[in-house]
Chains A and B, each alone.
Chain A
Amino acid sequence: MIDIKIKNVRKNFFTVKRGKVEALKGIDLEIPAGKFFVLLGPSGCGKSTLLNIIAGIEKPSEGEIYFGEKLVASSNKKIFLSPKERDVAMVFQSYALYPHLSVYDNIAFPLKIAKLDKNKIDRKVNWAADILEIESLLGAKPGELSGGQRQRVALGRAIVREPNLLLLDEPLSNLDALLRITMRSELRSIQRKLELTTIYVTHDQTEAMSLGDKIAVLKDGVVQQIGTPEEIYNDPINLFVAKFIGSPPMNILDGKLAEKINDKLNFLKDKNINDVVAGIRPEKINIVKKDEGVINGKLKMTGPPGGEPLYYLEAEGNEILAKSSEIGNIKENDEVGLKFGKDDLLIFDREN
C-alpha cells in the first residue's frame, strides 16, 4: 500500500504530421493508499498517457511524481525510475499476454525475471491462480483461452508480485456486457482483499461509478473534477462532467427556460441568460397532469418495452428525458406536466 502524488505533470508528443501534441496539460492528483482510483474520460483525453507516465513507461515532459515520500519522476531533477524500480504492475487493454508461454509461465514471468527460487515461484503462481480461479488453465497457451480467461491471466500476472501499485488500462473493454459486470465485481473484491492501491482507466462512466472509491474526470489533458462517485454525480462541476456522467444522460435546458423555473438565476446578475444552461437528471423528474408540474411538456415517445420505462418529452424547445410517471396511461402527444424540486436544477456555464 502506497499513496501516489502527481504534481503538475505535462506531456507533449512531437509528431511529424500533427506537430506538437499536448496530451497532458498540467495534471495534479493525489491517489490515496489502498484505494480504487478511476481515471475517467472520453477517447483521446490522455488517460493512457497519464497511466504510462505513472508506470514509468513514458517520461513526463514536465512535473513530478511521488510514490509515498519517494520521488520517482521529475523533469527538473532529471529523475526517472524504471517500472521495475517503482514496483508497479499493469494490465493492458489487449492483455498483452506472452503468446509463446503457457498460462503458468505468463504468471511466473515477473517472478522469474526477479530471480525468485522455483518453490517460491510455484507457491505464488498457485496463490494467484487460486484467487482468480484459473488453476485448471495453468497448462494452456493464451491462444486457447476465452477473453474472460485471458483477462484473469493478465490480472494474475499483475497481482502475483504483490506490487506497490496496480494499474489497469481499460481491462474490461474487450469483454461482452455480462462478463464485464461479473469481472467488475470480482476485480473490486480482489482489490479490497489485497488492499492494493489501484488506478483504473476507463471511458465507461458506469464502470467508473460502480468501481471507484474516487474518480478523476479528464478532458483534453485537463482534470475537470475529482471526487467520490456521489459527489461527481450529484454535484458535477461543469457541463462536460454533467453530460458525461449518468445514464441516461442529464437533461439540458436552455437559459431562458431555466430562468423561468429557477429564481437562483436572478442572482447571477452578471451573466447573460444565453451564456448559461441548466441540467436536471432524468430520475428527478416525475410526469404529472398538465399544469400540476413546474413546467408543461408534450410526450414524444416512450420506451423501451420491457425495460425500465423512459419518457421522451419536449418542453419549450428542449428535449427532456424522464424516468417516472404518476399518470397510468399516457400516450404520445399528450400534454403533461413535469414535476421536480427546483433545487435539483443545476446551473452551468454554456460551453462552446
Chain B
Amino acid sequence: MREDEIIKLLKAVGVIFLLIFCLFPFLWMIFISVNKNPDFLSPQSEFVLTFKNYFEVATSNKFHLWDYLVNSLVVSIASAILATFFASLSAYSITRLRFPGRIVIPLILLGFSMFPQIAIVGYLFGMITDFGWLNTYAALIFPYITLGLPLALWIMLSYFSQLSTELDKAALIDGASRLQILFKVILPLSLPALFSTFMLTLIYSFNEFLFALMLTTDYHGRTIPVGIALFEGLHGQIPWGYIMAAAVIAVIPVLLLIALFQKYIIQGLTEGAVKG
C-alpha cells in the first residue's frame, strides 16, 4: 500500500508541476490582458479588471486583428492540407512501391528539416520577390508546405508501414489502380494519422514567425504572430495589454480545432509510434 501511495503522490506532483509549467505563461497572458495598467515585466502596482484591451483590439481598425487571423487561418490550413496530401502520396509510394532511393528519401528530407531557417531566408526573400508573391498567401503557403513536409511524411510513413499490404494486394486483385487503392482503402483507414499530421503541420504554420516577418509587408498578407509583434503603442511604449488580448483571441481557433480532433490525434500519434 505504501508504495502505491508514493506512486500516486509522485503522479499528482508531476501532473501539477506540468500543468503549472505549461499553463502559467498562458494564465499570465490572460492576467495581463485584463489588467488596466498592463506591464509584462515590472511588478503590478495594482490590479484593476477591465475588458478594454479586448474591446479595442477586436473593434479598432488600426489593429487589423481579424485580417491577421484570417490570413493565418488561410495560410496554415492550406499549407497543412497540402503538406498532408503530398506526405500521403509519398508515404504510400515509399511503403508500397519498389523504386531506387526509397530508403534514403525520408532521411534526406529529415536532414533538410534540420537546416536552420535563418540560413535560407535571404535567398527565399529574393525568390519570392522575383515571383512577385511578396505579401501574398502563396509567399507563405509554399515555404510552409516545405517546412511541414518532413514531419508529415514521417508520421504517415510510420502509419502506412504498419498497415498490412494484404489489403493493397486485395484491392489490386479487385482491379483498383494504385491511386484508387490510396483513396478508397488506405486513406479511409488512416484518418487518425491524417488528423494528427494535419493538426501538427497546421500549428507549426500558425506559429511560424521568421518567414512571415520577412515575406509579408502589411495586413494583406501578414499572419497573426507577426501582426501582434508589430503592434504599436503610444510614445513607443510596448502595448502589452493589446498584445496579450490579441494573443488570447488568436489561440481560440486552434484550441477549438484541437478539441474537435483531440481523440483522433492522440490515437494517431501513439498508433504510429508504438506498433511501428
Contact = CB atoms under 8 A, between A and B. Distances in A.
Interface stretch (A81-89, A117-125, A239-247, A317-325): A81-89
Contact of A96 (B170, B176, B180, B188): B170
B167 A114 contact: no
Interface of A: 52, 55, 57, 82-84, 88-90, 92, 94, 96-100, 109-110, 113-114, 157
B13 interface: no
B267 to A, nearest CB: 15
Given A98-B170, A109-B171, 5 more contacts: A83-B173, A84-B175, A92-B166, A98-B167, A100-B189
B189 to A, nearest CB: 6
Contact of B169 (A84, A92, A113): A92
B105 interface: no
A99 B172 CA distance: 16
Contacts of A92: 166, 169-170
A157 B167 CA distance: 13
B173 to A, nearest CB: 5
A88 B173 contact: yes
Nearest to B189: A100
Interface in B177-196: 180, 184-185, 188-189
A82 B189 contact: no
Interface in B211-260: none
Given A83-B175, A90-B170, A92-B170, A113 B180 contact: yes
Interface of B: 164, 166-167, 169-176, 180, 184-185, 188-189
A128 to B, nearest CB: 14
Nearest to B103: A16
B179 to A, nearest CB: 12
A96 B166 contact: yes
B185 A94 contact: no
B174 A113 contact: yes
A109 B174 contact: yes
B166 A113 contact: no
B173 A113 contact: no
A57 B169 contact: yes
A99 B180 CA distance: 16
B96 to A, nearest CB: 12
B30 to A, nearest CB: 42
Given A92-B166, A96-B167, A98-B185, A114 B175 contact: yes
Contacts of B171: 98, 109
24 contacts: A52-B169, A55-B173, A83-B172, A83-B173, A83-B175, A84-B172, A84-B175, A90-B169, A90-B170, A90-B173, A92-B166, A94-B166, A96-B166, A96-B167, A96-B169, A96-B170, A98-B185, A99-B189, A100-B188, A100-B189, A109-B171, A109-B184, A113-B175, A114-B175
A110 B181 CA distance: 12
A52 B184 CA distance: 22
Contacts of B169: 52, 57, 90, 92, 96
Nearest to A57: B169
Which of B172, B175, B189 has the most chain A CB within a 10 Å cutoff? Answer: B175
Contacts of B164: 94, 96
Nearest to A82: B172
B157 to A, nearest CB: 18
A83 B189 CA distance: 23
B175 A110 contact: yes
A230 B22 CA distance: 76
Q: For the complex of A and B, list the 4 residue pairs with the smallest distance between their C-beta atoms, beginning with the closest.
A: A110-B174, A96-B170, A84-B175, A96-B166
B262 to A, nearest CB: 21
